[in-house]
Amino acid sequence: MSEIEKLLNPSDFEAFQKKIVEGRDPNRTAVAVCSGPGCLAYASGKVFDRFKVELLESGLAEEVTLAQTGCHGFCERGPSVVILPDEICYLRVSPDDVKEIIETTLRGGGIVERLLYKGEDGLPVQKESDIPFYKHQQKVVFGDNKRIDPRSIDDYIARGGYTALVKAITTMSPETVIAEVKESGLRGRGGGGFPAGAKWEATAKPPADTRYVIVNADEGDPGAYMDRGILEGNPHSVIEGLMIGGYAIGANEGYIYVRQEYPLAIDNVLYALEVLREIGLLGENILGTGFNFDIIVHKGAGAFVSGESSALMSAIEGRVGEPRPKYIRTSISGLRGKPSCLNNVETWANVPLIINKGADWFKSIGTEGSKGTKIFSLVGNVKNTGLVEVPMGMTLRQIIFDIGGGIRDDKEFKAVQTGGPSGGVIPEDMLDLHVDYDELYAAGSMMGSGGMIVMDKDTCMVNVAKYFLEFLSDESCGKCVPCRDGIDQLLEVLQRLTSGNALEEDLELIEDISLMMKECALCGLGQSAPNPVLSSIKYFKDEYIAHIAEKRCPGGVCKALIAYTIDKEKCIGCGKCMKVCPVAAITGEKKSPHKINNALCVKCDSCYQECPAKVQAVTKIRQADVITAFATSEEAANE
Amino acid sequence: MTQDKIDQIIDKFEAKPRALIMILMDIQHHNRWLPKEALERVSERLGVPLAKVQQIAAFYKTFSLVPKGDHELHVCTGTSCHLRGAQKVLDTVYEVAGIRPGETDSESKFSLTAVNCMGACSLGPVMMVDGQYHGRLAPSKTEDVLKNVK
Ligand SMILES: Cc1cc2nc3c(=O)[nH]c(=O)nc-3n(C[C@H](O)[C@H](O)[C@H](O)COP(=O)(O)O)c2cc1C
Ligand code: FES
């Protein structure tokens, strides 16, 4: 921050903003080292440290801004370093590349070509936004990450930060703010897709002395990290949205419920709040408008069910985060019995944009029933994993193939899963479905909070359904019987399926249990728990039947049903499989075909993974076929 | 963990019953597990029944009611890592160290926790050993990583 000065009125803010903007040279060189969770795992921290040291040594430290920013999105090729203002994007940067980047690019104005993205045609791509992964995205909420140091409120304000808040509290009545959000068509990004404006209105309406606004940053979907990406990289955007909501709804206190597994997000938010209090954008009588507002951060202690609205509020009260029956909505009686409005991180982050650019602008993006953009965590067996932001209405095919680059190792596509443990799978022939709340719901899945998990042909759909149920069985709070016992009953059936002991009737049993749970469970967890199973039966019934009738796992995943063998014709006798086998089940002479002793094999898959891609001699067969093979050879031996 | 340290944490939150979860998280953070004496002290100072303190400690994933080993293994069992073979990583940890998620081995060398997405899906399957990421873990690589932990 430039210097600590308390902003007492709107013109103070204007002057403050003007000073920041005018003090900046738009052509100044800046180095944005991504510190999103993906890049950090690739040791981007060391890249940043090296830049710090080398910039000083090169004497360029004064001329170049260096920042450790939030996630840029392209996690697959991390660590990512973007040089502004030209947006030169270097990927897979190691500390040892830093010196060259400084000398060639920062000092010399040239390009380090080997660190650029190379397209299918082998040609290097210089500018970040020209890389196919980014080119098809529309980054509205998530785009500023590389331009903002999450610890610098100046960076946020230079990008127009807090002007929406000031506009709202100085020129708009709470009712007009709500009307604008309603008009925008913004729907909740946390799963259900409830219209945000309507929820705000419902919370503002009942007479009450206190109301609360709350950010849901519990991010319970086990395969997603987009809320983390926003909160770590651009905490002010969420805070500003929350403050606007507080003003519109008539709340003086806001909460940010963030899972404690996200320490960097927590630190960045706490730091941001401290700065806001210091300059008077948070606290009593903000900018002299009479609006009082403060924010408390509550760390979530880890329970999926605590992401549910009533459960989350009980957790903030210091109790066990279990849901309650919602005869009365939390918008009427929520935290401490007061009207409370809970929205997801991404929902709040959209609010400042709507206030600044207007509902009409927001509505211009998306489909009839789903407006704006959506951030997805595009992961699984896809080539380009990362966080992507796309306009609503884009097809799943475009996301997976144009942005995601298709399936890893050029395997065949099998399914894509959205909506996490409450969602479902979508098969290949439905890939032209649009990203749209209602379309995805009608297909038996849901938008969810943004997990998008791509599955290749080597995925077992029964196993995936079982995975989600195991997760939910662990996470069900156990308060209501339909959920607690329903999940375990479903799980039992799935265990029979994956071990080859299921009967045809079991599929009907699944339907019956599922129906009961949907109708009777207390909260969304139990009501939606059957979705992953039901949707996979709907679209991949043949796989279920194969497990039952043929005791075969088409994905080659279910241990009880598969066995490993080496194709004599293909094996080149390189010995790699023999070396990795932990139980010495593989034998063979160098350069001659190897053999697996199935009686010893523990099916760890090591040999399968180790066998060179060009050879592919290790193959999976039906366990049932091995037993017969053994039986016949034993019979032969006995004779 | 000394009673003084526990009291310090409780005092930081002014012994407010509302801060129960935060207090337990702080103790967990400093001590890596919640000994019975700590729960009793919290119950006494906050005036919250011990049963309620235990209920909270048992409900949330963050809390451990048993001591942790010298090295903490966090295996990601998020959806993406699951597809890429997280189960095999867990199986290998079991073979090498004899522990399942939530357990600590008899020599107190390793504690294993299964966690949700760490945001490092492109590296999946991923395991963190004492805060250090290890990615693309085939069974043999997992074994090497564990054997190299001193
Ligand atoms: C079991 C369960 C877990 C949930 N977890 C989350 C979560 O982690 N993050 C989230 O934003 N919403 C979650 N939700 C949805 C919330 O209940 C709530 O609908 C949402 O936070 C409202 O915000 P939105 O309208 O902006 O989406 C969960 C719901 C259920 C039933
Ligand atoms: S699922 Fe393991 S890091 Fe994302």
pLDDT at A237 over 90: yes
Say whether B25 and A302 touch across the interface (CB within 8 A): no
Confidence of residue A149 (pLDDT cuts 50, 70, 90): very high
- The answer, as to whether pTM is greater than 0.90, is yes
A307 CA from centroid of ligand 1 (Å): 5
Task: Answer whether residue A498 is part of any domain.
Answer: yes
| CATH number of the domain where residue A594 is located | 3.30.70.20
What token pair was written down for A384?
Answer: 């380009």
Residues A509 and A596 in one domain: no
What is the overall mean pLDDT for chain A?
94
> Any chain B CB within 8 A of the CB of A317?
yes
Dist CA A266 CA A428 (whole Å)? 39
Q: Which of A317-321, A392-396, A434-438, B142-146 has the lowest mean pLDDT?
A: A317-321
Task: Answer whether residue A139 is part of any domain.
Answer: no
| Closest ligand relative to B121 C-alpha | 2
> Any chain B CB within 8 A of the CB of A382?
no
Residue A254 carries which side chain, given as an amino acid letter? G
Q: Which pLDDT belongs to residue A4?
A: 63
| Closest ligand relative to A385 C-alpha | 2
| Minimal-distance CA residue to ligand 1 atom 6 | A307
Dist CA A89 CA A131 (whole Å)? 9
The interface predicted TM-score of the complex, written ipTM, equals 0.91
What token pair was written down for A284?
Answer: 């009593």
Of A427, A456, A485, the residue at which a domain comes to its end is A456
Residues A308 and A229 in one domain: yes
* Unique residue bearing structure tokens 């509550």: A298
**Which candidate from B60, B80, B116 shows the least CB-CB separation from A380?**
B80
- Give B25→chain A minimum CA distance, Å: 7
B24: three-class secondary structure by DSSP: helix
Task: Answer whether residue A111 is part of any domain.
Answer: yes
Residues A380 and A336 in one domain: no
Q: Which of residues 123-162 of A touch B (CB under 8 A)?
A: none
| CATH number of the domain where residue A123 is located | 3.40.30.10
Say whether B18 and A317 touch across the interface (CB within 8 A): yes
> Any chain B CB within 8 A of the CB of A221?
yes
Question: How many Cβ contacts (< 8 angstroms) between chains A and B?
Answer: 139
Residues A356 and A489 in one domain: no
pLDDT (tens digit per residue) in A559-599: 999 999 999 999 999 999 999 898 999 999 999 999 999 99
> Any chain B CB within 8 A of the CB of A394?
no
The radius of gyration of chain B from alpha carbons, rounded to an integer in Å, stands at 18
Task: Answer whether residue A354 is part of any domain.
Answer: yes
Q: Which pLDDT belongs to residue A1?
A: 47
Q: Which of A141, A306, A308, A525 for a ligand 1 pocket mutation test, highest count of atoms within 8 Å of Cβ? A: A308
Dist CA A459 CA B85 (whole Å)? 10
Task: Give A72's strand partners.
Answer: none
pLDDT at A39 over 70: yes
Q: Which pLDDT belongs to residue B60?
A: 86
Closest alpha carbon within chain A to B21: A318
* % of chain A at pLDDT higher than 90: 90
Q: Which of residues 19-58 of B touch A (CB under 8 A)?
A: 19-22, 24-25, 55-56
- Give B3→chain A minimum CA distance, Å: 22
Residue A617 carries which side chain, given as an amino acid letter? A
Dist CA A386 CA A73 (whole Å)? 5
CA angle, residues A516, A519, A520, in degrees to nearest 5: 80
Residue A240's H or E segment, with its range, is helix A235-249
Contacts of B63 in chain A (CB under 8 A): 301
The verdict on the CB of residue B1 being under 6 Å from ligand 2 is no
Dist CA A469 CA A463 (whole Å)? 10
CA angle, residues B100, B102, B103, in degrees to nearest 5: 65
The verdict on the CB of residue A343 being under 6 Å from ligand 1 is yes
| CATH number of the domain where residue A478 is located | 1.20.1440.230
Confidence of residue A630 (pLDDT cuts 50, 70, 90): low
Q: Which pLDDT belongs to residue A2?
A: 47
Dist CA B64 CA A99 (whole Å)? 45
Dist CA A89 CA A54 (whole Å)? 19
Residues A122 and A32 in one domain: yes
Confidence of residue A302 (pLDDT cuts 50, 70, 90): confident
The verdict on the CB of residue A222 being under 6 Å from ligand 2 is no
Dist CA A115 CA A510 (whole Å)? 51
pLDDT at A145 over 70: yes
Closest alpha carbon within chain A to B16: A318
Of A362, A381, A416, the residue at which a domain comes to its end is A362
Residues A125 and A192 in one domain: no
Task: Give A343's strand partners.
Answer: A215
Query: In b/e form, how buried is each residue of A97-120, taking b as 16+ CB within 10 angstroms?
Result: bbeebbebbbeeeebbeebbbeee
Q: Which pLDDT belongs to residue A629?
A: 55
Task: Answer whether residue A430 is part of any domain.
Answer: yes
The verdict on the CB of residue B81 being under 6 Å from ligand 2 is yes
Residue A627's H or E segment, with its range, is helix A623-638
Residues A323 and A177 in one domain: yes
Say whether B143 and A582 touch across the interface (CB within 8 A): yes
Residues A79 and A192 in one domain: no
Task: Answer whether residue A6 is part of any domain.
Answer: no
Classify residue A635 by burial, with Cβ atoms within 10 Å: 0-12, 13-18, 19+: exposed
Q: Which has more confidence, A340 or A630?
A: A340
Average of per-residue pLDDT across A617-627: 89
Mean pLDDT by 10 residues, chain B (150 residues): 91 92 92 93 94 90 89 95 94 93 92 93 94 90 90
Q: Which of A10-19, A36-45, A318-327, A435-444 has the lowest mean pLDDT?
A: A318-327
Q: Which pLDDT belongs to residue A326?
A: 75
Contacts of B24 in chain A (CB under 8 A): 301
Ligand 2 atom closest to the Cα of residue A37 is 3
Closest alpha carbon within chain A to B90: A604
DSSP H helical segments within A449-480, as ranges? 461-475
The verdict on the CB of residue A128 being under 6 Å from ligand 1 is no
Q: Which pLDDT belongs to residue A579?
A: 92
> Any chain B CB within 8 A of the CB of A580?
yes
Residues A34 and A183 in one domain: no
What token pair was written down for A471?
Answer: 């997760």
Of A116, A133, A150, the residue at which a domain comes to its end is A133
Q: Which pLDDT belongs to residue A3?
A: 54
Q: What residues does each domain of chain B span? A: 3-59, 71-147
Task: Answer whether residue A3 is part of any domain.
Answer: no
> Any chain B CB within 8 A of the CB of A467?
yes
Q: Judge: domain B71-147, CATH 3.40.30.10.
A: yes
Average of per-residue pLDDT across A297-315: 91
Say whether A223 and B116 touch across the interface (CB within 8 A): yes
Average of per-residue pLDDT across A410-421: 95
Q: Which of A344, A437, A476, A480 for a ligand 1 pocket mutation test, highest count of atoms within 8 Å of Cβ? A: A344
Task: Answer whether residue A77 is part of any domain.
Answer: yes
- Concatenating the DSSP letter of every residue in A192-237 gives S--BHHHHHHHHHSS--S--EEEEEE----TT--HHHHHHHH-HHH
> Any chain B CB within 8 A of the CB of A532?
no
Contact indicator for A519, A558 with CB cutoff of 8 Å: no
Q: Which residue range(s) make up the domain with A206? A: 160-362
Average of per-residue pLDDT across A206-210: 96
pLDDT at A443 over 50: yes
A308 CA from centroid of ligand 1 (Å): 5
| Closest ligand relative to B116 C-alpha | 2
pLDDT at A517 over 50: yes
pLDDT at A634 over 80: no
The verdict on the CB of residue B124 being under 6 Å from ligand 2 is yes
Ligand 2 atom closest to the Cα of residue B124 is 2
Total number of domains in chain A: 5
Residues A77 and A214 in one domain: no
Residues A532 and A612 in one domain: no
Dist CA A354 CA A291 (whole Å)? 20
**Which candidate from A320, A464, A609 shows the least CB-CB separation from B138?**
A609
Dist CA A386 CA A509 (whole Å)? 38
B78 CA from centroid of ligand 2 (Å): 5
Residues A385 and A324 in one domain: no
The closest alpha carbon to A414, from A426, A432, A396, belongs to A426
Confidence of residue A639 (pLDDT cuts 50, 70, 90): very low
A81-84 and A30-34 as β-strands: parallel, antiparallel, unpaired?
Answer: antiparallel
